[in-house]
């Protein structure tokens, strides 16, 4: 079996396992895993930019929030149904990511990181400033009756789980496919040596622009899905914390691996959940475990698996 066939088997196998778990897990863990799948989709979007293209962003929460508020405001104030509102969320994230890409890609390295952070803070403050519409820190709830698609009630735990799995599977398979075509190879080449990639005749700016837009749109889809499936839209999701979290998930799971974002999000979520049940000082436990992982698994969990045992892992 060649590496492409192994990669396909890995991704389809993971999706099948997650599908079965949706019917086997108790309600608590089913709800947790649904949330993890949406957040892992957000991390997949971040991985396209950081893991594959080598661009470190500290402002990805603005794309997540753009998708969430695009959907939420369309439903809350415009009375738009779920599917068109989800489209509004996607369009909002796509437009914002294109604007940010045009401006931020004029910078390199640390400057790019700082510029994305500044844009994200501007978006966060904008949400607070227009509190009459956005309800600021308090946020707003999307009514249960509005959270339906084709008579499917997205507040039903099983349907919500399957919707989250569909979103995650789409992002996972699309990203895996992207890494097996020339576009993905060029992104990796840019990460490894941008100057050499330019010398080979590739339009580096065009590929980086596409990477930012794809990354931002996937992240926006996750934000819109989070608001729709869990029924809440709030400014917290546009804060710096939600720009740091996908970076943490990708680093722990394995930057530049397709499955790494899911592994990182899953591991971090349950680490916090388990540690908080043991002690009130759970952040100390979490911090210690994360430090140990960084010291002894520098490539992340899946990155170390690929380096040590399975070279074919995508």
Nearest to 211 by CA among 67, 34, 56, 90: 56
Question: Per-residue b/e over 279-301, b at no fewer than 16 CB within 10 Å?
Answer: eeebeebbeeebeebeeebebbb
Domains of the chain: 3-251 (1.10.3470)
- Report the relative pairing of strands 140-141 and 232-233 from DSSP bridges: antiparallel
Classify residue 109 by its DSSP letter: T
Q: Give yes or no for residue 82 having a pLDDT over 90.
A: yes
* pLDDT of amino acid 1: 63
Checking if the pLDDT of 158 tops 80, the result is: yes
**pLDDT digits over 96-141, tens only?**
999 999 999 999 889 999 999 999 999 999 999 999 999 988 999 9
Residue 12: pLDDT above 70? yes
Mean pLDDT across the stretch 222-232?
Answer: 97
Among 226, 250, 193, residue whose Cα is nearest residue 86: 226
Q: What is the pLDDT of residues 163-206, one digit of tens each?
A: 999 999 999 999 999 998 999 999 999 999 999 999 999 999 99
Task: Note the pLDDT of residue 87.
Answer: 97
pTM listed for this prediction: 0.96
Q: Which residue has the tokens 């890995």?
A: 10
For the chain, percent of residues with pLDDT exceeding 90 = 86
């Amino acid at each position: 079996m060649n590496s492409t066939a192994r990669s396909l088997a890995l991704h389809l196998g993971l999706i099948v396992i997650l599908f079965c778990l949706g019917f086997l897990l108790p309600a608590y863990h089913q709800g947790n895993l649904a949330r993890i799948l949406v957040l892992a989709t957000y991390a997949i979007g971040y991985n396209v930019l950081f893991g594959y293209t080598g661009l470190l962003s500290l402002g990805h929460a603005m794309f997540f929030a753009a998708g969430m508020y695009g959907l939420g405001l369309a439903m809350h104030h415009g009375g738009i149904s779920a599917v068109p509102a989800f489209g509004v969320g996607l369009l909002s994230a796509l437009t914002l990511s294109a604007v940010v890409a045009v401006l931020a890609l004029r910078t390199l390295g640390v400057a790019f990181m700082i510029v994305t952070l500044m844009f994200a803070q501007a978006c966060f403050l904008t949400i607070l400033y227009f509190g009459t519409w956005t309800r600021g820190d308090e946020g707003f709830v999307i009514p249960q009756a509005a959270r339906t698609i084709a008579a499917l009630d997205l507040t039903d735990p099983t349907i919500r789980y399957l919707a989250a799995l569909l979103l995650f599977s789409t992002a996972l398979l699309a990203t895996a496919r992207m890494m097996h075509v020339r576009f993905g190879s060029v992104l990796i080449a840019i990460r490894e040596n941008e100057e050499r990639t330019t010398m080979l005749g590739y339009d580096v700016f065009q590929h980086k622009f596409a990477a930012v837009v794809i990354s931002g749109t996937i992240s926006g889809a996750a934000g819109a899905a989070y608001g729709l499936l869990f029924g809440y839209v709030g400014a917290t999701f546009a804060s710096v914390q939600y720009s740091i979290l996908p970076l943490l998930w990708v680093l722990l799971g394995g930057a530049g691996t397709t499955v790494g974002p899911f592994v990182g999000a899953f591991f971090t979520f349950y680490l916090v959940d388990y540690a908080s049940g043991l002690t009130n000082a759970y952040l100390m436990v979490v911090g210690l475990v994360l430090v140990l992982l960084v010291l002894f698994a520098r490539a992340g969990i899946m990155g170390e698996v690929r380096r040590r045992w399975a070279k074919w892992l995508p």
